[in-house]
Structure 1
Amino acid sequence: MKTMTFFNNKGGVGKTTLTANIAAYFALKLEKRVLVIDCDPQCNITQLILGDEKTINLYWNDGKQNNVDTIKDCVEPILDGDSNIEKPRKMERGKNNRFGVDLIPGHPQLSLLEDPISRAWTELPAGKPGAIRITRWLGSLIETLNADYDYVFIDVSPSLGSLNRSILINCDYFVSPLSADVFSVLGLRNISQWISLWKKYYTAGIEQGVRLNPEAMERFGIDDTVSITSGFVGYTMQQYIAKRKKGVKRPTKAFERIIQTIPDEVHGRLGEFTPRGLNNTRLHLGDVPNMFSLIPLAQGVSAPVFELKTRDGLVGSQYIQVSNYTDIIGQVSKNLYKNLEGQKDV
C-alpha cells in the first residue's frame, strides 16, 4: 500500500479538486482499491465526495446518525491524553459515492490535535516512545488498514504546522500542485526548508529511542524510515487564464516567466527529495486547465469532473470540456502511477 498527499504551502492551486479527481481515476479507471483520508480541518474533500445532504447528516449529529467514524474518532484517544489511535469502525464506502473511493471523513476538531503533537515534538529528542507514537499517529492508523487498499490519498491544508508535519512524516509520497504565480513558487521553497529542518530533528529522536528504549520501539513497530524525504513524485501546473485579442490567446509575460522557471525551481528546491530515476520531464505530471463552470457543477452533484453526464446538467460546450478534462486528468494520473510504480506502462 502506498500513501501520498498533494501538498503546497500556497492555497488556491486546486489541490482538493485535483486530489479527489485523481483518487477517483485510480479507483474507477485504473481499478485500484483507494482510500481517501481527510486531514484538512476545513473538510472540503469530505463535502465534495459526500455531497451537502450526507455531509449535513454526518456532522449535525457528530457522526452518530450514520454510524460513520470521522478522523476525529480515530484520534480521540490522543485528544484525551493517550498515545493510541482508534481504527475506524465504519467508513464511507466507494460503492456509495460517485468517486468510487472509501473515505475517512474529516472533522473541524482535528485542529485540536496541533497542541498534543506540538508537545510530543518537544519530547522527541529524549526518544520517548509515547511522544514518537503521537508523532506517528497517522502511520499507526494506516497500518491498521494496510491489507485493504492499494493507495491512500490524504488531503491536507496548506499549513506548515505541527499537524501537517506529522502527516508528511507518515506519508510515502507527495505531489505539489502549482499555479503560475510567485507565491506558488515561494511555497515550494518553504516546503524544502521545512522538511530539511524537521528531518534531522525527527531522525535524531528516533535514534535516541532505539538506544534508550529498544524493546518499546520494537513492540510498537517504530522504525527510523522517513519515506517522504525521498518521496517527491511530481508536480502539476494550473493553467492561467490567458487574455484574448480577436479570439487569439495572448500569453501574459509575467505568468510565462514564472512557468519557465518552474522546472529549475522544482529541481533546486525538491530535487533532494526525489526518488532516483525521476528527472524533471517525468516530474512534470501535466498541466491542469481552468474548468470554469464544470467545477461548481461537479461539486453540486458530488462527482468527479470526468464522470459528469447529461443528467448532471451538462450543456453545450461543457461536453467538450469534460472530454478534454478526462484526457488531461487521465494522463496526469497515469504519469503519477508510472512514477509510483517505476517504469511500468499503463
Structure 2
Amino acid sequence: MVKNGKVISIINMKGGVGKTALSVGISSFLAENRDKKILLIDSDPQFNATQAFIDPDKYEEDTKTIFQLFKPQTEIAERYVMPKKEELITNIQENLDILKGDLNLVLVNKSSDSGLIKRLKMFIKVNKLREEYDYIIIDCPPTLTLYTDSALISSDYYLIPNRIDRYSGIGIKSLNRAISDLIYSEDLELKCLGLVYTMVEDQLTQKQNDIKSELESSKAVEDIYIFSSNSSFVRDMQVGRQGPIAIRYGKSKKDISDIVDEMENRLSSIGGNNNG
C-alpha cells in the first residue's frame, strides 16, 4: 500500500535533553506496537541513535551511512549521483529501518558547497520514501550545522525535547531563531508539534517547578504547544541495564505510548502539507 509518510525532526539546540532517547523510543514504539513502517535517520555526528541498535565494534568500517549523502565531490566536473535507498538504508527489525549516522559528518560542516543542504530532502524524494514509510524520524544534532538545516528542510514537522533545568530555555531560543530564518530563506511549511519534557523526576522540586513555570510563561515558548505527557527519569535506562531503547523498560514504554498518542493527535489537529 502506498503511504503518505510524515517527516519529523526531533531537535533542540541544547545537548543532554534526551533527544536521541526520544527519537529511538518513538521510532521503535511505532514500529513494534503500532505496526507503522518507520525510517529513523541519524543525522547527529555522535551517532548515538545508531549505536542504540548496532554494536559500535561492528560499525567502524561501515560505509552504508548518511555521510554518503553529504560527502563532498572530489572532481568539480563530476555529476553527483543520488544513492538508491538500498545502498544506504539498513533494516533493524520488522517495520524499522535506519539511515545510520557517521562521525565523518563533522567534516561536512566545513564544506562550502551550498547544494549539500538539500541532499537529504532529495534522497527522500528521489527514492519515494514517503510512499514507503508512515513516519520518517530524524534525530538531529544539538548544534547549528549544514546537516541540521538539511534535516529541517526535509521535514514537515519538528518536535522539541526539553529537560527541566536552569538552562532549559537557551536551546529553545536558539532553535526559534534558526527555524524562523530557515522558514523565511527556504520558504518552508515547517510546523512545530510541540515541546516534550524529558527525564522528568517523579516529584519535582520547588526549584524545578519554578523553572518550568518561568519557561512556560516566557516569550520563547509562547506559541509552542506543551505536551501533557512526558518521559520520566528511569535510572535503569540511564545506566543501560537493558540498553538505551526506552520501550525495553515498563515505565518508559508507557511514557512513550502516551507521547505517541498525543503526537498523533497533534498531527491530526494541525494538519499541514508534505514538504517533499
- TM-score using structure 2 length: 0.84
What is the deviation of 1:56?
2.1
Match of 1:287 among 197, 220, 230: 230
What does 1:22-37 align with in structure 2 at a 5 Å threshold?
22-37=26-41
Secondary structure at 1:140 match in 2: helix
Tell me the secondary structure at the aligned position of residue 4 of structure 1. Answer: strand
Decide whether aligned partners of structure 1 residues 285 and 45 sit closer, same or farther in structure 2, where only a CA change above 3 A counts.
farther
> Do the aligned partners of 2:45 and 2:104 also contact (CA within 8 Å) in 1?
yes
Q: Does 1:86 align with 2:30?
A: no
**Larger relative contact order, structure 1 or 2 (CA cutoff 8 Å, min sep 6):** 2
Amino acid at match of 1:298: Q
Give the secondary-structure state (helix, strand or coil) at the position aligned to 1:288. coil
Measure, in 1, the Cα distance between the counterparts of 2:138 and 2:24. 10
Instruction: Give the counterpart of 1:181 among 161, 165, 174.
Output: 165
Report how far residue 83 of structure 1 moved: 5.2
User: Take 2:222 and 2:34, find their aligned partners in 1: how far apart are those partners?
Assistant: 28
Match of 1:237 among 194, 197, 219: 197
Superposition pairs for residues 53-202 of structure 1, below 5 Å? Answer: 55-59=56-60, 61-63=61-63, 69-76=64-71, 78=73, 84-90=81-87, 91-95=89-93, 100-116=95-111, 118-120=112-114, 131=115, 134-143=116-125, 144=127, 145-200=129-184, 202=185
Is structure 2 residue 243 aligned with structure 1 residue 305?
no
Question: Which residue pairs with 1:40 in the alignment?
Answer: 44
Give the AA of the match of 1:76: K
Contact 2:10 2:138 in 1 (8 A): yes
CA distance in 2, matches of 1:110, 1:237: 28
Closer, same or farther in 2 for the Cα pair 1:58/1:35, shift >3 Å? same
The Cα shift of 1:199 comes to 3.3
What whole-Å deviation, never above 9, does each CA across 1:184-231 have from its counterpart, x for those lacking one? 21111111122223433x24xxxxxxxxxxxxxxxxxxxxx5122xx1
Counterpart code for 1:95: Q
Ranges in structure 2 where 5+ consecutive residues have no aligned partner? 272-276
Partner of 2:274: none
Distance 1:293 1:79, change over 3 A: farther
Which amino acid is the alignment partner of residue 268 of structure 2?
A: E
Moved more, 83-92 or 158-167: 83-92
1:226 counterpart residue number:
188
For residue 115 of structure 1, give the secondary structure of its aligned residue in structure 2. coil
Contact 1:234 1:285 (8 Å CA) reproduced: no
Q: Residues 77, 150 of structure 1: CA spacing in aligned structure 2 closer, same or farther, 3 A cutoff? A: farther
Pair 1:261–1:46, CA change in 2 (3 A): same
Find the residue that maps to 1:284 and give its secondary structure.
Answer: coil
Aligned to 1:2: 6
Q: 2:262 maps to which residue? A: 335
Shift of 1:329: 1.3
Partners of 2:257 and 2:139 lie apart in 1 by 20
Q: How far apart are residue 89 of structure 1 and its match?
A: 2.5
Largest Rg, 1 or 2: 1
| Equivalent-residue separation in structure 1 for 2:200 and 2:256 (angstroms) | 17
Aligned counterparts of 1:341 and 1:74: Cα–Cα separation in 2:
32
Determine if the alignment matches structure 1 residue 258 to structure 2 residue 211. Answer: yes
Equivalent-residue separation in structure 2 for 1:226 and 1:161 (angstroms)? 18
SS at match of 1:234: strand
Q: TM-score, normalised by structure 1?
A: 0.68
**How far is the alpha carbon of 1:32 from its aligned partner?**
0.8
Count of residue pairs the alignment pairs up: 261
Structure 2: distance between partners of 1:113 and 1:189: 25
Question: How far 1:88 sits from its partner (Å)?
Answer: 3.5
1:38 CA drift (Å): 0.9
Contact conserved, 1:78 with 1:84, CA < 8 A, in 2?
no
Match of 1:195, as an amino acid? I
Are the equivalent residues in 1 in contact too, given 2:71–2:108 (CA < 8 A)? no
Native 8 Å contact 1:75 1:85 kept in 2? no
Q: Give the unaligned 5+ runs of structure 1.
A: 64-68, 121-130, 204-224, 243-248, 275-279, 309-321
**2: CA distance, partners of 1:271 / 1:171:** 22
* Secondary structure of the corresponding residue to residue 158 of structure 2: strand
| Separation (CA, whole Å) in 2 of partners of 1:77 and 1:88 | 19
SS of corresponding position for 1:31: coil
**Per the alignment, do residues 342 and 78 of structure 1 end up closer, same or farther by CA in structure 2, a change over 3 Å counting?**
farther
- Residues 138/58 of structure 1: CA separation in 2 closer, same or farther (3 Å cut): same
